Amino acid sequence: MIEVCPRCYSRLGAPLKSGRLVCANCGWSNEPAASKTTISGPNRSPFVEILVQCWRIVKRTVTYVFQAVTQRVQEFRQVESKQLVKGLSSRLSALEQAIPTGSTDAPRWMTLEDAFRYLGGDPNDSHSAVSTVNGSSSLPFRRFRALKNPAEFRSFGLEADVTRRDANKPWLRWTDEG
């Protein structure tokens, strides 16, 4: 029986239950470790060897191509997202520059609350009221909000656009007569 490891020359311990000797220092064993089950080398014909090598080449080529395509797609997505952000920022800056900075000739559209404030009232105060242009009548916000006819708003010096009201947009603006 061998008492010293032939690889590292350290002392071997007691044999395992299977009878095999194993070196605790380097892992040497007197039985070879089980390997992959493959077609044994001597039984292979040269044609099979060539096929095995070709298969390995094809497999590596397909793997390489797949990795290259995946990498290109990821790069394309990154570039596309950067271009998307750049395109959106340029559109936004163009829109910001298109916003008029000075006062325009056309009066701006207002909501009911803004129009009531414009006429001098406070929508949150129940005692606050606004008067018509000629001063003949005065309405609190509750009754001002109930007005529907554009002619009624004209008496307050306001222009009403029913299509804007139906679209839930600000729909009142002051007129030049008001």
Rg of the chain over Cα atoms, rounded to whole angstroms, equals 45
Domain chopping of the chain, boundaries: 1-31, 46-88, 112-174
Consecutive 10-residue averages of pLDDT for the chain (178 residues): 83 86 88 54 81 94 94 84 80 79 71 92 92 90 92 92 89 77
Kind and range of the H or E element at 57?
helix 46-98
Hey, is 138 helix, strand or coil? strand
Residue 158: which of 143, 139, 144, 177 has the closest Cα? 177
Amino acid identity of residue 155, one-letter, is: S
Residue 115 near residue 125, CB atoms below 8 Å: no
Q: What is the pLDDT of residue 178?
A: 47
Q: Is the Cα torsion angle 35, 39, 43, 44 positive or negative in sign?
A: negative
